[in-house]
Structure 1
Amino acid sequence: MTGLRIELRRSTALWAGLLVLVSTTGMLLLLTSAGASWKGNSTTAMLELRLPLAYVWALVVGLAVLQGMRDSRSGVTELFSSTSRPGWVRLGTLASAVAGVVAVATVLLCAGLVAVVAFGGGFVSIGFVPLMVTAVIALASSVLLGVAIGRLLPHPLTVPVALVATFMVATAAGQELQVTSPDDEVSRLALLAPVLDPPNTDLVTTSTSVDIGQIVWFTGLGVTAFLLLVSRSHGGRLASLLPAGLAAALALTILPYKISDVLVTDSIAGELVCDGAVCLSRAHEDSLPAVAVVGKEVLAKLAVLPDPPTEVREDTSAMAHLAAPPRNEKIVYLRSQSLAEVMSPEQLRLELLAGAGVATCSRPNTFNTTESTVLHLTAGYFNGGLAALPSESLMWGNDRIRGEIEEAWQTLRAQSAQEQLNRVAQARRMLLACEDSERTLDVLTAPR
């Protein structure tokens, strides 16, 4: 214990821990907004750490490499090698001090984020624990590797090269994990870095296979790093690479290759809680009373349709930000983003009525003026008049497109009441079948 206290005082251990706390907190404040979705779920908060971790990871490794060069820079390598005390004891104490402080700092950082979520009224569950464990092991093992590299390669360029190389690995891994479709494949090698873009909703987490694969890899890397640090012979150093090699091989067989298997719905936060026919995720349960009132009103308005929907349910899919919304003739799906945007009851009602309770077949963040017109017309039919849809604000704000919507609205309203209902019902069936949007609009606006 005496040696550990000395290393805590004389090494960079405390500085490394402070670096993790201060730099990560600062980057979170700079990179996230006041209404960021991670504040609604403790699991999402852990995923939010993965973005600043790309930078902090490199800084911590660079500092660890500098610490590993201490004996060489002080010119005492030969002196310590001639003492009767085993080298692995002294080096193990140093490694334990630096890696231990970084691990504790990471735990404190994670605990602080969970506290922010809890005191902010967000959803807290044990789902964040695997993500926290992964982050702790990743940083601690990387610190051990940095100390080992600094001891083996005590050159002035080692620190900047290690720092830049780690940052480049983190950046490349982040780019490899950027996808545009739920069916896109990702590089398993990219998942060996503790980097991930923050999710778009607070209902997403990493799959069990990702958590296990990363924990196995970083544990093996930590064992190899420690053995490299204490080994004195070339044969011992070569043998010390075996744990990392085995861990990498095992991790690559565990890690998934499709993004839809990397990010999954948080089974705890995404569990549905219902008020009659209206269901929300457990993470958004506080909004259920207000949404239930709107949802039941929407179902009552849609009841005039043949085979009307009977449920309003939140879409808890992990791929909701990449895939077209689900469709079911008996269910009106509510996007999680609609709650995150703090829609008023009137806005939420319009969103649920749009498409006669059916979303378009386009992926999120796409722009289609024809689909927008269909959504506005169907929402306007049940609303009794045209109104701006929050999800289509860009379309409504364009004077030309808005003029086309109003012209189409006048054409629809010129029909008899029964004809209007028939056309809206037909448009709903076409939306359920994902038929061409041009044809759907023609059904609504065709001359008598």
Structure 2
Amino acid sequence: MTGLRIELRRSTALWAGLVVLVSGTGMLALITSETARWTGNSTSALLELRLPLAYVWALVVGLAVFQGMRDSRAGVTELFAATSRPGWVRLGTLASAVAGVVAVATAVLCAGMVAKVALGGGFISLGFIPLMVTVVLALASSVLLGLAVGRLLPHPLTVPVALVATFMVATTAGRALEAESPDDEISRLALLTPVLDPPGSDLLTTSTSVDLGQILWFTGLGVTAFLLLVARTHLGRLTALVPAGLAAALALSIMPVKYSDVLVTDSIGSRPVCEGEVCVSQVHAGSLPAVAAAGRDALAKLAVLPDAPTGVREDTSAMAHLVAPQRSRQIIYVPSQGHLRVLKMTPDQIRLELLAGGGVATCSGPNSFNTYEGVVRYVTAGYFNGELAPLASEPLMWNNSRLRGEIDDAWQQFRRQSPQDQLKSVAQARQMLLECQDSERVLDVLRATR
């Protein structure tokens, strides 16, 4: 313990821990807005930490490399080699000090984010623990690797090269893990880094195969790094590579290839919380009263349709932030992921969103715009509402004079029909939306032009 206290005072251990806390907190403050999703779920909070980790990771590795060069800079390498005390004991104490402080600082940073979620009234579950273990292992093993590199390559350029190389690996891995479709293939090698671009959803987490693979890899990397740090012979250094090689092979064998297998639905946070026939996820349980009131009203108005929907559910599917919302004849799905924040709307706004399309969501994917589809949503919502009203999800169409004109024209054509024909048109349009038929044809049905 005496040696450990000495290393804590004389090494960069405390500085490395401070870098983790200060830089991690600072980067999170820079990228976090008032509408950030991660503050509502502890699992999402730990995923959000993966974004600034690219910078923190590089800084920590740079400090570790600098610390590993200490004996060489002081010119005492041969002196320590000649002492009777085993070298692995002294180097092990140094490694324990630096890696231990970084691990503790990382755990404190993770705990702080979870505490922020809890203090803000967010949802807390044990699902964040595998994510925290992965981050802690990643930084601790990287510190050990940095110490080993600094000791083996004591050159003035080693520190800047290691820092820049780590940052480049992190940014390259982040880009390799980006996806625009659930079927996009990602790089398994990129999953061997702790970096991950957080999804636009607070209902997702990494899959079990990703968690196990990363924990296995970072554990093997840490063992190899420590053996490299204390090895004195070329044979010993070659042998030290075995744990990392085996861990990498095993990790890559279980890592997924498709993006849809990297991120999965948070099974705990997405459990339904219901009020009658209306359900939302546990993460969004605070929105249930507003959604329930709007949902019951919408279901009552939609009851005039043949084979009308009987329930309202939040869409908690894993890839909802990348694909078109779910559609069902019996269930109205409430989109809550991506940029559309339906659960944050007022009850009246939610009711209009549920009525639009006759209770059927759009066929367009997130961040896409279809004029015909938008007009259909306005006209169908207006039919059940009794008059046209702005849809919070389509403010551009309502506020744009040209698009507003198209809505008004379609509404006037629709209103010229008899009440029986209006109901028949809406029912037919709903059926076409369920089948994702061409939106222009759906609009023609509402306008009675075909």
TM-score by length of 1: 0.98
- State the 1:123 CA deviation: 0.3
Task: Give the conservation status (yes or no) of the 8 Å contact 1:314–1:334.
Answer: yes
Deviation at 1:79, TM superposition (A): 1.0
Matched, 1:408 2:410: yes
Which residue is 1:242 aligned to?
Answer: 242
Alpha-carbon contact 1:68-1:149 (below 8 Å) kept: yes
Tell me, yes or no, if the aligned pair for 1:281 and 1:316 is still in contact at 8 Å: yes
Other-structure match for 1:326: 326
- 2:173 match: 173
Gaps of 5+ in 1: none
Determine the C-alpha separation between the residues in 1 that align with 2:105 and 2:247: 25
SS at match of 2:389: coil
Deviation, structure 1 residue 21: 0.4
Aligned counterpart, 1:446: 448
**What is the match of residue 34 of structure 2?**
34
Please, which moves more after superposition, 395-404 or 150-159? Answer: 395-404
How far residue 394 of structure 1 moved from its aligned partner, in angstroms, is: 2.2
Residues 296-351 of structure 1 deviation map (CA, whole Å, 9 limit, x = unaligned): 10000000000000000000012111111111100000012455762111111111
Q: Which residue of 2 aligns with 1:212?
A: 212
Partner of 1:391, secondary structure, is coil
1:108-129 CA-to-partner distances (Å, cap 9, x unmatched) read 0111111111111000010000
8 Å Cα contact 1:37/1:340 also seen in 2: no
Any conservation in 1 of the 2:287–2:344 contact (CA below 8 Å)?
Answer: no
1:295: Cα distance to partner?
A: 0.5
Residue in structure 2 matched with residue 117 of structure 1 by the alignment: 117
What's the TM-score once normalised by structure 2's chain length?
Answer: 0.98
The amino acid across from 2:15 in the alignment is: W
Residue 60 of structure 2 aligns with which residue? 60
| 2:7 alignment partner AA | E
Mapping for residues 31-430 of structure 1, pairs under 5 Å: 31-337=31-337, 342-430=344-432
Contact 2:334 2:342 in 1 (8 A): no
Percent same amino acid among aligned pairs? Answer: 75
Q: Which amino acid aligns with 1:237?
A: R
Q: CA deviation at 1:447?
A: 4.0
Classify the secondary structure of the residue corresponding to 2:97. helix
Give the whole-Å Cα distance in 2 for the aligned partners of 1:376 and 1:164: 52
What are the Cα deviations for residues 394-430 of structure 1, in whole angstroms up to 9, with x where unaligned?
A: 2322221111111111110111111111101100000
Q: Provide the C-alpha distance between the structure 2 equivalents of 1:127 and 1:70, rounded to a whole number of angstroms.
A: 40
**Any conservation in 2 of the 1:411–1:447 contact (CA below 8 Å)?**
no
Q: Aligned partners of 1:341 and 1:39: how far apart in 2?
A: 15
Task: Show CA shifts across 1:215-243 (max 9, x none).
Answer: 00000000000000000001110110111
Answer whether contact 2:11 2:98 (CA < 8 A) is retained: yes
Task: Determine helix, strand or coil for the equivalent of 1:168.
Answer: helix
Please report the RMSD computed on the Cα atoms of aligned residues, expressed in angstroms. Answer: 1.1
Question: What is the identity, as a one-letter code, of the residue corresponding to 2:287?
Answer: S
Retained in 1: the 8 A contact 2:38–2:202? yes
Deviation at 1:247, TM superposition (A): 0.4
Q: Which amino acid aligns with 1:410?
A: Q
